[in-house]
Amino acid sequence: MKYAALSDKGLVRPNNEDAFLATEAAIGVADGMGGHEGGELASQIALEEASKAITSMERRPKATLAKIFANANSAVLRMARESQQTGMGTTLTIAVLKKQRIWIGHIGDSRAYLLRGGNLEQLTEDHSLVGDLVRSGGLSQDEARTHPKRHVITKAVGTQKLIKPDIFSLTFEDGDRLLICTDGLTNHVEPDSLSKLAAGGSPESACERLVEAAKERGGSDNITVVIGDINGASESKPDRSSTDRRTVLSRLFGKNGVN
Ligand code: MG
């Protein structure tokens, strides 16, 4: 998979609580919540767990994804307890390529899309109050994007002892483009624009176009976009991701890392 990622704090928020994972074999985003850097920590910790499990992934992608979510959940709960923070949590949406299939693990209101032959298909369901309302027919997609309670999510990593992520797979084709993003993009850019802006050019240029569009439309939240282009050679060995445990530890315990 040829990939690119871009994260921007947007125009309103003082810090960036989003994080991403981008490797040849897996891409993902996490959108953290919680005060006093809790959100930033939660999203980083979740992706760090993802990165560890993917690096050692064996034959069973479904089990690996389930493990990622269970480990990320325990790690965020543990961190919240140790740092005495309440309200810490994060969305987590990951796509892993294995055995000619795209495996998706998802919880929260970040999204995965598949762009195939000019069509953009949303692969994930939002675990959010407005997502539930849209599915029950009580709200349109357009109304959901500006609804005052659009930020209320119904499931997240780190909010309860046991979590139930959505885990599923689909067959990939040469030329597929995967797009994984946080709600800072989708609350500002409607599906039509999204599919136009996401198509064509390199993954890097598509990431730039999408982030720029979200900022032009207000940039009210952190915006994170990861794009992966799938080709015949996509199922390569997982490589080390860019998340770094030392960064997390130094944030918690000061500049020198472990206390
Ligand atoms: Mg967000």
Q: Rounded to whole angstroms, what are the CA distances from 176 to 16, 56, 79, 102, 110? A: 29, 25, 37, 10, 20
Residue 218 Cα to ligand 1 middle (Å): 13
- Give me the mean pLDDT over the 7-19 stretch: 96
Residue 154 Cα to ligand 1 middle (Å): 14
Task: Specify the pLDDT at position 235.
Answer: 54
Q: Which amino acid is at 136?
A: S
SS3 65: helix
Is residue 170's pLDDT more than 90?
yes
Residue 31 Cα to ligand 1 middle (Å): 5
Q: Rounded to whole angstroms, what are the CA distances from 45 to 111, 133, 179, 242? A: 19, 30, 22, 12
Separation CA 124–CA 91 (nearest Å):
12
Residue 9 Cα to ligand 1 middle (Å): 10
Residue 231 Cα to ligand 1 middle (Å): 30
Residue 123 Cα to ligand 1 middle (Å): 18
Is residue 196's pLDDT more than 70?
yes
Residue 219 Cα to ligand 1 middle (Å): 11
CB half-sphere exposure, 205, CA atoms < 13 A: 5
Residue 90 Cα to ligand 1 middle (Å): 10
Neighbours of ion ligand 1 (CB under 5 A): 31, 182-184, 221
Q: Rounded to whole angstroms, what are the CA distances from 195 to 8, 17, 104? A: 20, 25, 20
**Which superfamily does 2-229 belong to?**
PPM-type phosphatase domain (3.60.40.10)
- End-to-end alpha-carbon separation of the chain, Å? 38
**Which value, to the nearest 10 degrees, does the dihedral of the CA atoms of residues 46, 258, 9, 176 take?**
-40
- Give me the mean pLDDT over the 78-92 stretch: 93
Residue 109 Cα to ligand 1 middle (Å): 8
Residue 59 Cα to ligand 1 middle (Å): 33
Separation CA 173–CA 104 (nearest Å):
15
DSSP lists the bridge partners of residue 101 as: 98, 171
Q: What is the pTM of this model?
A: 0.89
Residue 183 Cα to ligand 1 middle (Å): 5
151 pLDDT band, cuts 50/70/90, is: confident
Residue 249 Cα to ligand 1 middle (Å): 23
**What's the pLDDT tens digit per position in 199-241?**
999 999 999 999 999 999 999 999 999 999 998 655 544 444 4
